[in-house]
Amino acid sequence: MPKVKIKRKSTALDMAPMCDMAFLLLTFFILTSNFIQKEVVQVTTPSSISEIKIPETNVMMILVDPKGNVFFGIDGQEKRDSLLQEIGATKGITFTEQERKEFSVISNFGVPIEKLKSFLAASPEERDTKEWALGIPSDSVNNQLKVWVTAARSINAKARIAIKADQVCTYPVIKNIMNTLRDLHENRYNLITSLEQNPEKIKL
Amino acid sequence: MSEINTDSKGKGKKGKPKKMSTRVDLTPMVDLGFLLITFFLLATTMIKPQTMELVMPSKDKPTNPPPKARASRAVTIVLGKDNKVFYWAAEQDEKITPKVIETNYSSTGIRKYLLDRNKTVMDKVRQLEKDRITKHMPDSVFDKEKIKLQSEEGVKVKLSPIILIKPSEKASYKNMVDILDEMAICNIGTYAIVDITPQDTVLIKNAKK
């Protein structure tokens, strides 16, 4: 009987299908992704059963940190640029090309308008530190939040207002913001919450 | 690791064109692909944040005062400190001090009361939810019907409560969202966030004693 010769198989695999799959997944992720927006403060939102999703564009975001400091931000680099110009025009401040460029990449900020120039002069790393988490003054004496919302509204009439507040915030802080918005005839806004199961929904 | 398999046998021979293998080792390419996938997976948010829509009454329309809540339907909910809730149903006679009940945000607390009060509407909404599944109702129709039920049925049966939410100074934002959430869970059609009055504070103080 002739000896059966066992053929030695090559261990090298054809990587082409694997490669195809990897890039297919990559394409999927690139197309579906929206990047995590860096936020100046960590905010833990309360949960609700509401299932309405917030749109990605045309959003004015009002952030409130646990201490009650208010932060503001809008989407879109061009819009941010025109927002700064608008603020400059109303407050009589001229911003340089460099400052406008810096401002257009900041997703949210919380500094009084007077300190805006030094804030923009700071390096991006410095801006993330606690020293710059001052909050926009929003009391009745010096309501700069009003100025920002008005300016943002004049740039983008379609923008929705979203309030993202920390769950430990006290009610007067929120009330103050709601009153500010009410003064501006902004009666429709969204509260950002995290998802929770509706306990009363019929389970299948 | 990343050599290209070229046929090197034909080296030096003149005239004959070199026969190159077209096979390329794709392992590094796959590595790169997965590396990028990992990056995009980590850098993206898949879940969009949820929002709660809130429509507040306009300030400059005093001609449109809040509809006088029928005393039998009006329920006041005060959000106190330390996650406490106080509620009372208004009495027909204003002279009688309503009975203030202290509760919490749990499912056996304020929700139990609200579900009880709003039973008629709740049952109708539950029926609607069942219909939605059996009749394959589109979401838009369902939402419209639900709102209709919440607003109209309540008026019809004159039983569903009209809620006045009064958050106190000590209440947290979470409390406010929680109570708005309860309104959604219990299908309460009419509710409003109003400021707390000194009378309310006195009522609660007396109730605590």
- Give the separation between CA B32 and CA B208, rounded to whole angstroms: 67
Interface residue B112 vs chain A (CB under 8 A): no
Element counts in chain B: helices (H) and strands (E): 7, 6
- Give the separation between CA A12 and CA A170, rounded to whole angstroms: 64
- Taking an 8 Å cut-off on Cβ atoms, the answer to whether B51 and A201 are in contact is no
- How large is the C-alpha radius of gyration of chain B? 32
Neighbour tally for B187: CB within 10 Å = 24
Residue linked to tokens 């299932």: A51
Per-residue model confidence (pLDDT) at position A24? 93
Residue scoring higher pLDDT (A47 or A2): A47
Per-residue model confidence (pLDDT) at position A42? 79
SS3 B77: strand
- How far from A201 is each of A40, B37, B50, B129, CA to CA, in Å? 36, 37, 18, 8
pLDDT band of A23, cuts 50, 70, 90: very high
- Taking an 8 Å cut-off on Cβ atoms, the answer to whether B59 and A185 are in contact is yes
Q: What distance in Å separates residue A89's CA from the closest CA in chain B?
A: 28
- How far from A88 is each of A93, A98, A114, CA to CA, in Å? 4, 14, 11
Interface residue B64 vs chain A (CB under 8 A): no
The domain locations on chain B are: 74-208
Q: Which of A15-24, A78-87, A125-134 has the lowest mean pLDDT?
A: A125-134
Q: What distance in Å separates residue B90's CA from the closest CA in chain A?
A: 24
Q: Is residue B174's pLDDT more than 90? A: no
ipTM of the complex: 0.75
**Residue B44, strand partner residues:** A35
Q: What is the 3-state secondary structure (H, E, C) of B4-42?
A: CCCCCCCCCCCCCCCCCCCCCCCHHHHHHHHHHHHHHHH
Chosen from A26, A36, A63, A166 to mutate, greatest number of chain B CBs within 10 A: A26
β-pairing, A188-195 with A47-48? parallel
Contact B45, B65 (CB under 8 A): no
Chosen from A200, A202, A203, A204 to mutate, greatest number of chain B CBs within 10 A: A200
- Give the separation between CA B199 and CA A126, rounded to whole angstroms: 49
Give the pLDDT confidence of B139-149 residue by residue, as tens digits. Answer: 777 777 777 77
**Residue A189, strand partner residues:** A161, B54
Write down the pTM of the prediction.
0.74
Give the pLDDT confidence of A62-100 residue by residue, as tens digits. Answer: 888 888 888 888 888 888 888 888 888 888 888 888 888
Q: What distance in Å separates residue A185's CA from the closest CA in chain B?
A: 7
HSE-CB at A153 with a 13 A cutoff on CA atoms is 13
B chain contacts of residue A56, beta-carbon cutoff 8 Å: 48
Compute the CA torsion angle A108, A113, A118, A119 (nearest 10 deg).
-10
B chain contacts of residue A162, beta-carbon cutoff 8 Å: 51
Range of A6-10, A79-83, B21-25, B145-149 with top mean pLDDT: A79-83
- Taking an 8 Å cut-off on Cβ atoms, the answer to whether A46 and B27 are in contact is no
Per-residue model confidence (pLDDT) at position B124? 79
Give the pLDDT confidence of A27-72 residue by residue, as tens digits. Answer: 998 888 777 667 777 788 888 887 788 777 888 888 888 888 888 8
pLDDT band of A204, cuts 50, 70, 90: very low
Q: What distance in Å separates residue B135's CA from the closest CA in chain A?
A: 15
**Which runs of E-coded beta strand occur in A17-74?**
47-48, 52-53, 59-64, 70-74
Q: Is residue A167's pLDDT more than 70? A: yes
